[in-house]
Every structure is written in C-alpha cells, then in structure tokens.
C-alpha cells in the first residue's frame, strides 16, 4: 500500500457487527457473555461517544480487588493524593512519581478505572491480537506466550487489564499465556511486583462473606499464566538496538496515556522512537495508542509553528503526510496500516465496589498494524 494512504479504516466491532462479518470463536464467546450477563452492560448513549461494556461485571470487580488488596487505598490517602495532583497539575512528573508513597496512591486512585477501560479495549482489539486463524499456534504449553510490551506502562493499569483480559480469553483458550514487558521512566517496580502477586492470589474475603463465597473466590490467573517483567527506562533515550531487543518479537506494543506526555517532553525524540518501532516490530504486530481525546502538541512543520492534534502527528509520523485526493499513489512501500481509530469514547463504571472514588474514562484510540 502506498505510503500516506491510511488503508482501510475498520470500525470497532460494536459498529460493524452484523450479518456480513463471519462469526469467530471470539464473537461467539462474546455473544454468550453478553447474553448471560445483563448486569454487565453499561448504558449506551446514542451518540459518537457511546460506551458499551462486553466485559463481565464480575471480572471488572475482580480486577478492582487486585488493586484493593495490593495497594490498600483508603480515605486516609486524601492528603497524599492532593500533593500528587498538585505535582501533576504543575507537570512536575519527576516529583509526582518520585516517592514510593506517591506511586502507591497514584496507582490506587487513577489506575483501577483505567485498567477496567483497558480490559474493554483489549477485548475490542482481540480479533487483531489473536486472529482466529493461526491462533492455535500460540499459548499451548509447548508453544510461546504472546509477547506484549507496554511503553510508559508503569502504574499498573496495563498489567491488571492484561491479567483480566487473559483470564477472560482463557475461558475458551485455556492454555494461552502472556509475556508482558512494562517499561517506564519512574520506579514502578515494587508497585508492579505487588500487583503481579495479587493477580495470582485469592482476593481478601469481605468481612461478612459467606463460607461459600470464600470458597468460590479464585485468583484472577493461575501462577505462570502471565509473566511480567518491569524495566525502568527512559524510552526516548533508547537506541534502536535496545528497543529491538524489547519489541522484536512483540505481537502488541502499547502507548497508553503516554504518547502525548512523550510529545510534550521531546517531539523529535518521540518521532524517532516511533520510527524505531516501525523498524523493530515484526510484521503483523500491532501498535496501540490510547490517550486523552483532544490532546494537542505544538510542532513546527515546514518552518511553520502550529498546534497539531496528537492523532494528526501520529498519522503523519507513521503513515506519512496526508495525500491530496487526486495525488498519484506513492511507489514507496508503507510501514503501517491503520486498522482502528476513534477520536472519543467513554468507558463508564457502574455497579462496582472500591474503597475510594473512581471516575469514568474518556479516551481516543488508534490501532496500527505493522505491514510485512
């Protein structure tokens, strides 16, 4: 495909499901889940920003238990949270993520709702990550786990979300395993280790839980299903070879609520990182970018300084400059194809319990496939 041509833009399944699409193992499983779990449905707003959860409420609650049991959120953290908020507001990320206590309260306050939104996102993109055909070649005991690398992947949302998503997929692909590499500039190692342990442990029983409820309580995943490695690293300072060692076998690389931060820190280095990813990732691998809707970065292109939406910059870097409708197709072979894109979506929380307040998540999502 010509560089600059963004290729077919597939709508997410909620918009494309219908008689034309062949039913896959996943879509059948999703239908069964939906039919059996009316309470899991989150109200659908009939506009472009609608949200509809296909993830069971019970699974969402189990993900929240992982955060609760690992990080012990409580109302007593209010003062610490205010301090962290202040540093984030001043864009002083080094201080906001500079203390163990700050990291714990940040992850216990802002990561849980993101994690639930991300379980939904991984469910939404599952057909690209685990296509039905050939999918049997991954995950079996003697086969390799699916490799996923999360850049800016500290704070725990990606880790717990991947745990939740894997636990859902394993209901029909019992031997599927994930190998997850999380890379972040901040010292999230101890927080990640605490969350990883809790993913494999039975949740703490509620004070008045019945004996049956206690007995039925299960860990999110059995030991060994999800291998996690955390690496403290500034991704903007990576050499191409170092990056290739991390993502060379990845099926999925994520930049969740991180790309705009990278663009604000250093746009040329962010563009270099994206081009290294293009060179290092295997063909058919996916790059997932999720961020706040309407994120802008000031950039100078052709000597003109202008504010560009993050998504525009991303497309510019990965797909090339936008082509005029009557332009001749370029001879250059493209590196990326955009397979999913939405400018604004909501993930809403409903009917869940957690010791402190959580918020709904609004996000933009873009998924690119590395061409062969």
Ligand X SMILES: C[S@@+](CC[C@H](N)C(=O)[O-])C[C@H]1O[C@@H](n2cnc3c(N)ncnc32)[C@H](O)[C@@H]1O
Q: Give residues in contact with ligand X (CB under 6 A).
A: 97, 111, 114, 152-155, 157-158, 184-186, 234-236, 256-258, 261-262, 265
| Burial label, 269 (beta-carbon count in 10 A; 0-12, 13-18, 19+) | middle
Q: Which tokens belong to 129?
A: 């990550």
Q: Cβ(295)–Cβ(309) under 8 Å? A: yes
**Inter-axis angle of helices 189-199 and 100-124, to 10 degrees?**
50
**Cβ closest to ligand X, residue 221 vs residue 246:** 246
Q: Cβ(32)–Cβ(170) under 8 Å? A: no
Q: Cβ(63)–Cβ(160) under 8 Å? A: yes
Q: Which tokens belong to 106?
A: 């940040």
> Minimum distance from CB of 174 to ligand X (Å)?
29
- Distance of alpha carbon 274 from alpha carbon 280, whole angstroms: 10
**Cβ closest to ligand X, residue 155 vs residue 314:** 155
> Minimum distance from CB of 135 to ligand X (Å)?
26
> Minimum distance from CB of 262 to ligand X (Å)?
6
> Minimum distance from CB of 61 to ligand X (Å)?
19
**Cβ closest to ligand X, residue 4 vs residue 152:** 152
The dihedral through the CA atoms of 83, 289, 180, 282 has a sign that is negative
**Cβ closest to ligand X, residue 42 vs residue 157:** 157
Q: What are the C-alpha distances in Å from 230 to residues 101, 193, 204, 302? A: 19, 8, 25, 39
Phi, psi of 56 (to 5 degrees): -60, 140
Q: By beta-carbon distance, which residue lies closest to ligand X?
A: 152
**Cβ closest to ligand X, residue 179 vs residue 264:** 264
> Minimum distance from CB of 319 to ligand X (Å)?
23
**Cβ closest to ligand X, residue 13 vs residue 158:** 158
> Minimum distance from CB of 235 to ligand X (Å)?
4
């Amino acid at each position: 495909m010509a560089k600059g041509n963004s290729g077919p833009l597939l709508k997410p399944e909620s918009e494309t499901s219908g008689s034309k699409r062949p039913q896959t193992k996943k879509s059948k499983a999703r239908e069964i889940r939906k039919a059996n779990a009316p309470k899991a449905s989150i109200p659908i707003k009939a506009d472009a920003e609608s949200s509809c959860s296909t993830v069971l409420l019970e699974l969402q609650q189990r993900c929240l238990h992982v955060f609760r049991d690992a990080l012990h959120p409580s109302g007593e953290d209010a003062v610490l949270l205010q301090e962290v908020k202040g540093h984030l507001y001043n864009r002083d990320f080094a201080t906001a993520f500079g203390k163990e206590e700050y990291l714990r309260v940040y992850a216990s306050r802002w990561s849980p709702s993101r994690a639930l939104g991300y379980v939904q996102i991984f469910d939404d993109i599952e057909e690209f990550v685990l296509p039905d055909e050939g999918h049997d070649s991954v995950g079996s005991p003697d086969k390799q786990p699916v490799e996923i690398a999360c850049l800016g992947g500290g704070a725990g949302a990606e880790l717990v979300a991947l745990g939740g998503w894997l636990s859902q997929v394993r209901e029909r692909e019992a031997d599927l395993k994930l190998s997850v590499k999380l890379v972040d500039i901040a010292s999230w190692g101890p927080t990640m280790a605490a969350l990883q342990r809790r993913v494999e442990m039975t949740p703490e029983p509620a004070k008045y839980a019945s004996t049956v409820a206690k007995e039925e309580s299960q860990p999110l995943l059995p030991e060994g299903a999800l291998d996690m490695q955390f690496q403290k690293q500034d991704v903007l300072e990576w050499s191409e070879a170092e990056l290739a060692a991390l993502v060379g076998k990845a099926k999925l690389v994520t930049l969740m609520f991180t790309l705009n931060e990278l663009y604000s820190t250093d746009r040329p280095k962010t563009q270099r990182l994206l081009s290294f990813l293009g060179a290092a990732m295997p063909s058919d691998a996916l790059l997932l970018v999720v961020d706040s809707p309407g994120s802008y970065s000031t950039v100078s292109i052709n000597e003109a300084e202008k504010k560009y939406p993050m998504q525009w910059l991303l497309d510019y870097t990965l797909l090339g400059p936008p082509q005029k409708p009557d332009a001749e197709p370029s001879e250059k072979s493209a590196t990326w194809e955009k397979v999913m894109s939405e400018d604004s979506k909501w993930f809403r929380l409903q009917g869940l319990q957690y010791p402190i307040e959580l918020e709904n998540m609004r996000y933009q999502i873009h998924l690119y496939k590395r061409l062969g």
